[in-house]
Structure 1
Amino acid sequence: MTMPDPYSQPQEPQQPYQQPAPPPYAPYPPQPYGYPPYVPPRPTNGMAIAAMICGIVGVCSPIGILGLIFGSIAKRQIRETGEQGEGMATAGVVLGWIGVAATIVLIAYYIIMFAFIGSAVNELENGDWYSDFPTDEPTWALNLIGVL
């Protein structure tokens, strides 16, 4: 009887050959050192950046008009070139419209205040304003500014 060799590898029972399951996704093509391919990020549109900055700065000033203009131009360029910055361009347009509305309100405020101050100065120049105003009539303020 022969003794089995203690240094030999144990033999596994042989099974029929089975192919390995395919991976759930397509593997990367072979690259040096096993790294995946580098895909550079898309560039960001410069007009979109300018639109957002002008929109933020111009929320309460006439510079918001520039944000509106730059944002519209940037959106068209982004559609044509596929660059990044759609959100910044949209922010520039929205803040630009807010800036335009704020500028219109501010101009209207200054016009109304100029009219009020002008009518008050006219009443003071007449010299008899202290005898006419205020009265028990609720329309004395309208008389003061010259509406009635």
Structure 2
Amino acid sequence: MSTPDPTPDPQGPQMQPPGPAAYPPPPYPQQYPPQGPYAPPYGYYTPPPPINGMSIAALVLGIVGVCNPVGVLGLIFGMIAKRQIAERGEGGDGFATTGIVLGWIGVASIVFWILYAVFWATMFGALFSEIDDLPTSDPTDWDYSVVLTLLGVA
């Protein structure tokens, strides 16, 4: 009988000592997202541009001034904000557009109210000129024909 050989077989399985880990963990927490001049420009959240203050003012003045003269300021501020947004690359383009639209509605309402006041001023002026042309100054002597004439029916 033969005794077993204590030397390992060169073609048999051999044990290797464990090697070092592939990458050691960092000693400090990582920044997320990476910041600085060498940060990658893709794959990370970029904050939106700042909103132009004039566009917010245009929106507020446009809402407040839909039926009064303040709407003209919303129109003016909206146009200024549009120009600043194009030059500076800021946000708030929708606010500025809304301020411009509401400003034009405010201008249209001003024109409407002026025409409304002129209409009633001419109507009352015609009514008072008809009253001055009446033959008597005592309104109790009037008959229905005078009232119908004043109303423009007869």
TM class, shorter-length: 0.5 to 0.7
Equivalence for 1:82: 89
Q: Which amino acid aligns with 1:98?
A: I
**Aligned pair count?**
109
1:50 pairs with 2:57: yes
- For residue 36 of structure 1, what is the aligned residue in structure 2? 33
Q: Equivalent residues in 2 for 1:1-148 (5 A)?
A: 32-33=29-30, 35-37=32-34, 39-128=46-135, 130=143, 131-134=145-148, 141=152
Greater shift, 118-127 or 45-54, is seen at: 118-127
Which residue of 2 is the match for residue 23 of structure 1? Answer: none
Q: CA deviation at 1:35?
A: 2.2
Taking structure 1 as the reference length, what is the TM-score of the superposition?
Answer: 0.64
Query: Which ranges of structure 2 fall in alignment gaps of 5 or more residues?
Result: 1-27, 36-45, 136-141
Q: Output the amino acid matched with 2:152.
A: A
Question: What's the C-alpha RMSD, in Å, of the aligned pairs?
Answer: 2.5
Gapped regions of structure 1 (runs ≥ 5): 1-30, 144-148
What is residue 9 of structure 1 aligned with on the other side?
A: none
CA distance in 2: counterparts of 1:126 and 1:104, whole angstroms: 33
Q: Distance in 2 between matches of 1:68 and 1:41?
A: 25
Equivalent-residue separation in structure 2 for 1:32 and 1:125 (angstroms):
94
The 1-side partners of 2:124 and 2:117 are apart by: 10
- Partners of 1:41 and 1:142 lie apart in 2 by 66
Please give the TM-score of this superposition, normalised by the length of structure 2.
Answer: 0.62
- Report how far residue 62 of structure 1 moved: 1.2
